[in-house]
Structure 1
Amino acid sequence: MNKILNSARKLVTGLTLVLASSVFMTAHAKTVTVEHIKGSTEVSGVPQRVVVLGHGSLDVLDQIGVAPVGASHMLLPDYLKSYAKTTKNTGSLSEPDFEAIYMLKPDLIIAENRMLKVYDQLAQIAPTIMFYVEGDKYWADTQKNWRTLGDIFEKQSEVEALIEKTQKQITAVNQKVTKDETTAMMLMNNGSNIAMFNKGSRFSIIFDDFGFVESKSAKVAPIKGSHGNLISFEYIADAKPEVIYVLDREQAIGRSEGRAKQLFDNALVAETPAAKLDNIVFIDSSAWYLAGGGVTATQRMLNDIDRTVKQ
C-alpha cells in the first residue's frame, strides 16, 4: 500500500513540475519588437498561423521553411505556385480579403508596400508587420526584413547564410561595374510608353548597389510620371548607354505577353552602345516588379545583371 502511495505522490509531483514548467515557459515566451514604417509591433512566441500578403515575404518564408496558412494567389511567380494549393487565398496584392484573413485566425500578418494604406485595418485582426522595401534602399531594407523574419521564427542562422551568399554576389558585380565605370539605363515600358528610373528612384539598386553610372541625355528632357520619368527613343539614343535593362510592366501584371522586345527593335535603339555590345536585357518582370525583397527574386535580379557583366 505504501509503495502505491509513494508512486502516486511521485506521479503527482512530476505532473506538478511539468505543469509549472509549462506555465513558466508560457509566461516567459520570447517577444520580438519589430520596428517598421507604420510603427512598432510586438510578436510574442513563434507564430503558428501566419498570413503573408506579398510575394517577397512569402519567398523568404519559403526559403527558411515557414509554412503560412494564407497568402495572395494573385500573379504568383513560378517558384511560389505551390502556395495556391497549400494556403487560403487572401485577396489581391493591393486589396486584401479581410473576411478571409479574419477567418484564418492569424497570429501574425505580414504586409508589403502595396498594403500600406490598409495597415490599420489589418492590425485590428492580428499583430501586423510591414515587409517594406524602399527603392533607393533595396538591399539595406531587404537585409533588415530577412533578419526580422529570422528573429521572429528563430531562423537567424538560415537568414545570415542567405545574406552572406547574396552580399558576396552583389559585391562581385559592384567591383567589376565600378572598375569599368559602365553606364546604364533602367527602363520600363507600359504599353507604348517608356519610363526611365534614375538613381534614388524605385529601381535604384542598379546604381546604388550594383554600381552602374546613369546614362542621361543632355539634349532631350524627360517628363515626370507616376511610373518613372517618361522618355522617347530619341532620349535613349542621345544618352548612349552601354547597358539597357527593360522591364515589361504589362507582362508583370499579367495583362499580356508583353511587347517590349518588339517595341525596342528600332533604328534608334540599334545605334546605342548597348545594342552593339548585345547588352540589352529584358529582365524578369515578376522578380523586379512584384516580388522585390524576396530571396529568389533578388537572385533572379542578380542573374539579369550578370548577363551584362563581363568578367
Structure 2
Amino acid sequence: MKKNVLMIIMTVMMAVVMAACGNNNAKTETTEPAGNAATPTENAATPAESKEVTITHKLGEAKLQTNPQKVVVFDFGILDSLDKLGVEVAGVPQANIPPYLKKYEDKKYANVGSLKEPDFEAINALDPDLIIISGRQQDAYEELNKIAPTVFLGVDNTKLVDSFKENMITLGQIFDKQAQIDEELVKIDTSIKDIHDKATSSGKNGLIVLANEGKLSAYGAGSRFGIIHDVLGFTPADAKIEVSTHGQSVTSEFIAEKNPDYLFVVDRSSVVAAEGAEATSAKDTIENDLVKNTKAFKEGHIVYLDPNYWYLSGGGLVSMVEMINEIGAAIK
C-alpha cells in the first residue's frame, strides 16, 4: 500500500517538473533574437506609408498618394533621378534611351510610346498611379491626366538650376526622399561654385552650338544649354544670340567671326538620327578651314559635350552632375 502511494507521489512530481520545463522552453523560443531565425513576416518588404498630397506644377494640380507603386516617366532626367533614388518605375518611352539608362529597355518595363508620341493604349493598360512628363509631352497633358494624375516636371531654361532643384524637391515630396535629395543638391551646389570660380577667373568666353545633320544652331544665355553662361560662368562670345527652343541658325562663318575662346558642341545627330540613316559627324561639320582659324580650335578648346546628358536627359540628378563635370573638365 505504502509502495503504491509513493509511486503516485513520484508520478505527480515528475509531471510537474516536465510541465515547468515545457514552459521554460516556450518562453525561450518567443524571446529568441530575430537575427537567429527570420520569420516570414520579418522577410516581407514593408510597404512604404502613403498619404495624399497636392502637387502644383506648370500645367495644373495633381492630387495623389505618396510613394505611388506604378509610375510612368516620360522625361529621362526624371528617370535618372528616380533610378539614383532607388525608386522603381513601371513604364518608359523606350526609343532613344540614353546608354546609361539602358536597363529600362528591358521587357519588365512597359514601352509607353516615344518622347513626343505617348502610347495611350499601353498607358491605360498599365493603370498607373502617376504619370510624369516634361516639355516634349505637354501637348498630351490633358489626355494623360484623364488616365492618372499627371505632373509636369520640365525645366525652365531661363532658370535651369532653380527649376531643376524645384523638380527634385517635388520628387522628394512624392517619394519620401527629401533627405537624399537635399544631400545631392548640396554636392551639386559645391561643384557649381568651384567650376564657376574657375571659369570666371580664366577670363575666357564661350560659344555653344548644336550640330544636326550638317546644320548648326547657336545657343546663348537663357537657352536650353545656357547653364554654361548663366550658372557656370563662361562669358557669351555673342550676347545677342536669339533665345529659342531650336536655337539661332548659324554658319561656320558666324563661328569664325565670333572667334570664341571655347566652342561647346552638342551633337544631336548622334542620338536622334533618322531610322536607317547614317548620322553626320559633328566633328566633320565643325572642324572646317574657317573654324580651324579660331582661338578655340588652335588652343584645343573645342569641347564635344555628351548629347545623352545635354540633349536627351538634362535636368536629372545624374545628368546634371555629368553636365557640370564636363564643363569643369574642359577648363584649362
- State the TM-score bracket (shorter-chain normalisation): 0.7 to 0.9
> Post-superposition, which runs of at least 4 consecutive aligned residues in structure 1 deviate over 6 A?
221-226
- Aligned 8 A contact 1:248 1:258 in 2: no
Aligned to 2:299: 277
The alpha-carbon deviation at position 131 of structure 1 amounts to 1.2
Q: TM-score when scaled to structure 2?
A: 0.80
Alignment-mate amino acid for residue 142 of structure 1:
F
- Name the residue aligned to 1:174: 196
Using the TM superposition, name which of 120-129 and 173-182 deviates more: 173-182
How far apart, in 2, do the equivalents of 1:227 and 1:155 lie? Answer: 34
Give yes or no for the alignment of 1:59 onto 2:80: yes
> What's the % identity of the aligned pairs?
36
Aligned residues: 280
Alignment of 1:1-311 (within 5 A): 29-85=50-106, 86-216=108-238, 227-255=246-274, 256-310=278-332
User: Are 1:216 and 1:239, in contact at CA under 8 Å, matched by a contact in 2?
Assistant: yes
Q: Deviation digits for residues 242-262 of structure 1, max 9, x if unmatched?
A: 111111111121334441111
Q: Could you tell me whether the CA contact under 8 Å between 2:220 and 2:242 is conserved in 1?
A: no
Which residue identity is paired with 2:90? V
Do the aligned residues in 2 keep the contact of 1:131 with 1:145 (CA within 8 Å)? Answer: yes
SS, match of residue 252 in structure 1: coil
After TM superposition, give the deviation of residue 177 of structure 1 in Å: 1.0
Deviations 1:32-88 (A, max 9, x none): 222211022122232111111121111111010110111111111111111111310
Q: Counterpart of 2:302 in structure 1: which amino acid?
A: I
Indicate conservation of the 8 Å contact 1:245/1:282, yes or no.
yes
How many angstroms apart in 2 are the aligned matches of 1:136 and 1:60?
A: 21
CA contact (8 A) 1:222 1:231 kept: no
Structure 1: gaps spanning 5 or more residues: 1-27
CA 1:144 to 1:96, structure 2 compared with 1: closer, same or farther past 3 Å? same
Alignment partner of 1:287: what SS? helix
Q: CA RMSD in A?
A: 1.9
CA distance in 2, matches of 1:158, 1:50: 20
Q: 122-131 or 255-264, which moves further after superposition?
A: 255-264
The structural deviation recorded for 1:136 is 2.0
- For the 8 Å contact 2:223–2:244, the answer to whether it is kept is no
Distance between the aligned counterparts of 1:141 and 1:110, measured in 2?
15
Q: Give the CA deviation at 1:29.
A: 5.0
Name the amino acid aligned to 1:189.
A
Cα distance, 1:275 vs structure 2: 1.0
Letter in 2 for 1:137: K
Moved more, 172-181 or 223-232: 223-232
| Contact 2:218–2:247 (8 Å) recurs in 1 | yes
Which runs of 5 or more residues in structure 2 are unaligned? Answer: 1-48
CA distance in 1, matches of 2:65, 2:330: 45
Q: CA deviation at 1:222?
A: 7.4
Distance 1:30 1:225 in 2: 40
Amino acid paired to 1:252: V
Going from structure 1 to structure 2, the CA distance change for 1:224 and 1:144 (only over 3 Å counts) comes to closer
Conservation of the 8 A alpha-carbon contact between 2:66 and 2:173: no
The amino acid across from 1:174 in the alignment is H
- For residues 245 and 92 of structure 1, the distance between their equivalents in structure 2, rounded to whole angstroms, comes to 28
Q: Aligned equivalents of 1:224 and 1:179: distance in 2?
A: 26
Cα offset, 1:309, TM superposition: 1.4
What is the TM-score of this pair, normalised by structure 1? 0.85
Q: Is the 8 A contact 2:220 2:243 kept in 1?
A: no
